Amino acid sequence: MLPIELQVKQSYYMRVLFIGLFSFGLGALAMWLEHRLWAKTFDREGVTRRDGKKFRWADLREKNAVHMQLSSGRQGALNNYELVFKDGKALVFHRMLENDQEVMAALEMLSAKQKPSS
């Protein structure tokens, strides 16, 4: 199953363009800075982010599901996952990926390996 390259949908880049146009570039800049923290590849050794930083699976501390917050204060839909490592984190925005099913299957497999056996 591994290695996997996380393939960002073209529609994401269209969103960045439109947000950039309507926010005089500031929204696009913010999205680009966050995009650098997104996972780019999963391989047998670990994760490589879009900024080139690498993390080892052996250093994975937790996988956090990040949900949108509703105005009522309740938790909304799943937005993304944070892979928290000893020395940083990588973000996985699964809905922005062409190969989201493949990526989610890999994350589930990795989560199963991280769980202590009973």
Q: CA torsion sign, 107 to 42 to 84 to 76?
A: negative
pLDDT given for residue 115 in this prediction: 62
pLDDT at res. 114? 67
Average pLDDT over residues 40-47: 96
Q: Strand pairing of 39-42 and 60-69?
A: unpaired
Q: Tell me: pLDDT of 8 over 60.
A: yes
Question: What pLDDT sits at residue 109?
Answer: 86
Q: How does residue 58 score in pLDDT terms, banded at 50, 70 and 90?
A: very high
- Give the residue numbers spanning the domain of 109: 4-114
pLDDT value for 54: 98
Judged against a pLDDT cut of 50, whether residue 27 lies above it is answered with yes
The vertex-104 CA angle with 81 and 29, nearest 5°, equals 45
Q: What is the pLDDT of residue 1?
A: 67
Q: Residue 83: in which H helix or E strand, if any?
A: strand 75-85
Residue that has been written with the tokens 């650098």 in this structure: 36
Enclosing H/E stretch for 89: strand 88-92
Identify the pLDDT of residue 48: 98
CA separation for the pair 21, 33 (Å, rounded):
17
- For the chain, what is the domain count? 1
- Beta strands 88-92 and 75-85, pairing class: antiparallel
